Structure 1
Amino acid sequence: MTEQETRELLVELGASLFQRGFSVGSAGNISVRLEDGYLMTPTNSSLGRLDSKTLSKLDQNWNHISGDRPSKEVFMHRAFFRARPQIGAVVHLHSTYATAISCMPTGREDHPITPYTPYFVMRIGNRLPVIRYYRPGNSEMEEEIFEQAKTATALLLANHGSVVSAKTLVDAVNAAEELEESAHLALMLQDKPARALDSDQIEDLLSTFKQ
């Protein structure tokens, strides 16, 4: 895929997320790896109103080289790319249900969402760490995200939202959507008798669909 095709895909997927309520206003940001650096949504931009020509471009050392200024949460994306060199994209959303889970003291800080469906395990894995609260834009969270991302493809930021990584931009968007729907399902089933996946079923999924 050329850089221009990647730019157009990022705009298309951002608009799709926005139109379906996965982001509102200027909330959320997306980054994708290029051969010579990274593309990122600009600061204070709406995922529903992106322009392929003004997307932020950063070099391989995360220096801003063209386009509008990158998101103030660039360090969040950098932490994932540092920790997981195999990934190609990162999606950060303030989607309603995942954010709701991030506000709840579940007592299961590595497993705040019960795995009810195989698709949650296939796209997110078996760890979803919750990072303690930091003010948005506070770069001090980078090292904590970096450490957790070494063994997790996604995480929740306490009282903030989700951050999801994957090999491709399409995969990252799909995983972010699956995380939101899994959070919705978990809240719907809260305090109800429900059948979750057992440890053998989870292990079978993890070994079959390695991330």
Structure 2
Amino acid sequence: MRENEAREVLCRMGDLLYRRGLVHGSSGNLSVRLDDGWLVTPTNSSLGALDPAQLARLDASGRHIGGDPPSKEAFLHTCVYDVRPDAGAIVHTHSTHSVAVSCLDHQPGAPVLPPLTAYYVMRVGDLALVPYYRPGDERLAMAVKDVAVKHAAVLLANHGPVIAGKTLNDALYALEELEETAKLHFLLHGHPIRPLTPEQVAELGVVFKS
């Protein structure tokens, strides 16, 4: 994708996320990989009112070389790209139900969310939970980098999801599936649930392996 086209697509995606209620205020950030670096949404910007010309431009080493200053969490994105060469885009939001899941007291070794639906398994897969670090803390990026090697979808404790995809659309679809599954999780609270079995999950991996 050419840079000018990538700028337009990233702004359209920001507006879409804002209109769908998946981001609010100046929360959340997006990025797209280019041949020689990245485009990242600016710090303190509303994803619903992005200007293609003001997007932050980073070079291949992550140095800011153009546009407005990047999100203070830009290093989160570059760390994920470092370990996921197939990723062409990353979406980070504070979407309500996903953040609510990130605030729960999760038991070690238990899944962050149960595999309630086939599409959650297919689009999100095995969701990793990263311990809490304050926004902008570079230790957060290192913690995400460690788990992003094996997980395209990462949930930051008391913060929100970071999702990598081959394209912005792929990342969006995974984010939406995560948010809807989080809603189901709370709707089903107190009711006996029947998640997919390990065998059913394994079958999805075989049949729909990309």
Q: Find out whether 1:186 has 2:191 as its counterpart.
A: no
Q: Find out whether 1:208 has 2:203 as its counterpart.
A: no
* Aligned mates of 1:208, 1:99 — CA distance in 2: 31
Alignment of 1:148-187 (within 5 A): 148-187=147-186
State the TM-score, normalizing by the size of structure 1: 0.96
State the TM-score, normalizing by the size of structure 2: 0.96
Residue in 1 that maps onto 2:2: 2
- Contact 1:109–1:129 at 8 Å: present in 2 too? no
SS of 1:48's partner is helix
SS of 1:104's partner is coil
Greater shift after overlay, 153-162 or 107-116?
Answer: 107-116
Please report how far the alpha carbon of residue 74 of structure 1 lies from its aligned counterpart in structure 2 after TM superposition.
Answer: 1.0
SS of 2:75's partner is helix
Please report how far the alpha carbon of residue 176 of structure 1 lies from its aligned counterpart in structure 2 after TM superposition.
Answer: 1.0
Residue in 1 that maps onto 2:81: 81
Residue in 2 that maps onto 1:133: 132
1:108 to 1:187, Cα distance in 2 relative to 1, 3 A: farther
1:63 to 1:179, Cα distance in 2 relative to 1, 3 A: same
Please report how far the alpha carbon of residue 207 of structure 1 lies from its aligned counterpart in structure 2 after TM superposition.
Answer: 2.4
| CA deviation vs aligned residue, 1:37-76 (integer Å, no higher than 9, x gap) | 1110000111101011110111111111111010000111
- Contact 1:110–1:129 at 8 Å: present in 2 too? no
* Aligned mates of 2:81, 2:168 — CA distance in 1: 13
Percent sequence identity over matched residues?
47
- Contact 1:110–1:128 at 8 Å: present in 2 too? no
SS of 2:54's partner is coil
Across the aligned residues of Structure 1 and Structure 2, the Cα RMSD in angstroms comes to 1.2
Aligned length, in residue pairs:
210
Please report how far the alpha carbon of residue 106 of structure 1 lies from its aligned counterpart in structure 2 after TM superposition.
Answer: 2.3
* Structure 1 runs, 4 residues or longer, greater than 3 Å off: none
Q: Find out whether 1:66 has 2:73 as its counterpart.
A: no
Gaps of 5+ in 2: none
Please report how far the alpha carbon of residue 161 of structure 1 lies from its aligned counterpart in structure 2 after TM superposition.
Answer: 0.6
* Aligned mates of 1:205, 1:46 — CA distance in 2: 37
Alignment of 1:36-51 (within 5 A): 36-51=36-51
1:196 to 1:78, Cα distance in 2 relative to 1, 3 A: same
| CA deviation vs aligned residue, 1:153-190 (integer Å, no higher than 9, x gap) | 11111100110111111111111111111111111112
